[in-house]
């Protein structure tokens, strides 16, 4: 299989993967809107070096970005070590996905990649839950038609809002609490954030299935997926590199 460099620029983290869906070497970096192309070049070179990949053997690069301020810098950085064209997910790029929403241009490239990757992963109708800055739900039917989705505040946003808008509450470590009923404020916040968020996801999945009349598989991804997926009641699978898998599929469709 072709080896590529796939880059997912999110609001909080940028994931850089080298390889393919059989074997990704991937690393997460903090996204900064003021980052320069030279700094990005060092980030990409570090990832390639850690993966022990040969630049000349990389077939090409693909980028999806929800931070337009740095998209051009990402492409510029790649062009400094590769002469091959960089594919940026956006209008005009083949995805294999029929987007059936009011304004397809509103759909973020990361959610497109997740939907493509999720469908490829289980080869049937699917709901993808991505736990990042926001918690997103994306629904794809058996005809590979994107039906729409839902967006909720992510866990970290909820925690930041709670702490910033109250005088006496302090931040907590995001980890699974031992019990639902906290015996102190710290435990109570952990319970509300982690188990409360998981309950929201369980309930939303039930409502999506009821409304869509689908019998989908559910794939969880995103940086906080490892925290939440184990405490969900609904049967799901966790895919750390789902977005990269989707980007690889899109890359192959266009090359």
pLDDT reading at 206 higher than 90: yes
What is the model's pLDDT at position 24?
94
Closest CA to 218 of 110, 97, 124: 124
What is the model's pLDDT at position 194?
97
What is the model's pLDDT at position 85?
85
What is the model's pLDDT at position 100?
96
CATH code for residues 98-240: 3.30.420.40
What is the model's pLDDT at position 242?
97
Locus of tokens 């990005």: 40
Whether residue 110 lies in the annotated active site: yes
pLDDT reading at 201 higher than 90: yes
11-15, 52-56, 86-90, 129-133: least confident range:
52-56
Q: How far apart are the first and last CA of the chain?
A: 13
Which residues, 6+ apart, have CB-to-CB distance to 199 below 8 Å?
Answer: none
Q: What is the pLDDT of residues 98-114, one digit of tens each?
A: 999 999 999 999 999 99
Structure tokens belonging to residue 211: 């409304």
At residue 159 the predicted structure's pLDDT band, cuts being 50, 70 and 90, is very high
What is the model's pLDDT at position 54?
74
Helices marked H in 24-106 — which ranges?
37-51, 68-79
Closest CA to 220 of 146, 126, 86: 126
Burial tier of 210 (Cβ tally within 10 Å: 0-12, 13-18, 19+): exposed
Count CB neighbours of 254 within 10 A. Answer: 14
**Do the beta carbons of residue 2 and residue 20 sit within 8 Å?**
yes
- List where CATH 3.30.420.40 sits in the chain: 3-88, 98-240
What is the model's pLDDT at position 110?
96
pTM here is 0.93
Q: What is the pLDDT of residues 27-83, one digit of tens each?
A: 999 999 999 999 999 999 999 888 887 766 789 999 999 999 999 999 999 999 888
Q: How far apart are CA 9 and CA 66, in angstroms?
A: 6
In the predicted model, what is the mean pLDDT of residues 193-201?
Answer: 97
CATH code for residues 3-88: 3.30.420.40
At residue 169 the predicted structure's pLDDT band, cuts being 50, 70 and 90, is confident
Average pLDDT over the chain reads 94
pLDDT reading at 187 higher than 90: yes
Structure tokens belonging to residue 67: 């931070």
Of the residues 8, 110, 130, 245, which is catalytic?
110
What is the model's pLDDT at position 84?
84
Q: How far apart are CA 73 and CA 168, in angstroms?
A: 42
Q: Bridge-partner residues for 7, per DSSP?
A: 16, 63
């Amino acid at each position: 299989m072709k080896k590529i460099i796939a880059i997912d620029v999110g609001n909080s983290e940028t994931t850089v993967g080298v390889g393919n869906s059989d074997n990704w070497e991937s690393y997460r970096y903090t996204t900064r809107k003021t980052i320069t192309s030279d700094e990005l070049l060092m980030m990409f070179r570090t990832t390639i070096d850690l993966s022990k990949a040969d630049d000349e053997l990389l077939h090409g690069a693909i980028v999806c970005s929800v931070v337009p301020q740095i998209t051009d810098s990402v492409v510029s950085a790649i062009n400094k070590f590769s002469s091959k064209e960089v594919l940026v997910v956006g209008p005009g790029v083949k995805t294999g996905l029929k987007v059936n929403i009011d304004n397809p241009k509103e759909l973020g490239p990361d959610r497109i990649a997740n939907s493509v990757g999720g469908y490829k992963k289980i080869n049937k109708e699917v709901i993808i839950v991505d736990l990042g800055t926001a918690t997103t739900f994306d629904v794809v039917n058996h005809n590979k038609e994107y039906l729409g989705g839902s967006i909720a505040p992510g866990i970290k946003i909820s925690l930041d809002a709670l702490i910033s808008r109250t005088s006496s509450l302090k931040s907590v470590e995001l980890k699974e609490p031992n019990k639902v009923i906290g015996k102190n404020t710290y435990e109570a916040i952990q319970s509300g954030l982690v188990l409360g968020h998981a309950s929201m996801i369980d309930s939303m999945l039930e409502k999506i299935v009821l409304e869509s009349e689908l019998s989908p598989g559910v794939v969880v991804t995103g940086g906080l997926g490892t925290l939440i997926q184990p405490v969900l009641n609904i049967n799901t699978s966790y895919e750390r590199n789902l977005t990269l898998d989707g980007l690889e599929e899109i890359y192959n469709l266009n090359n």
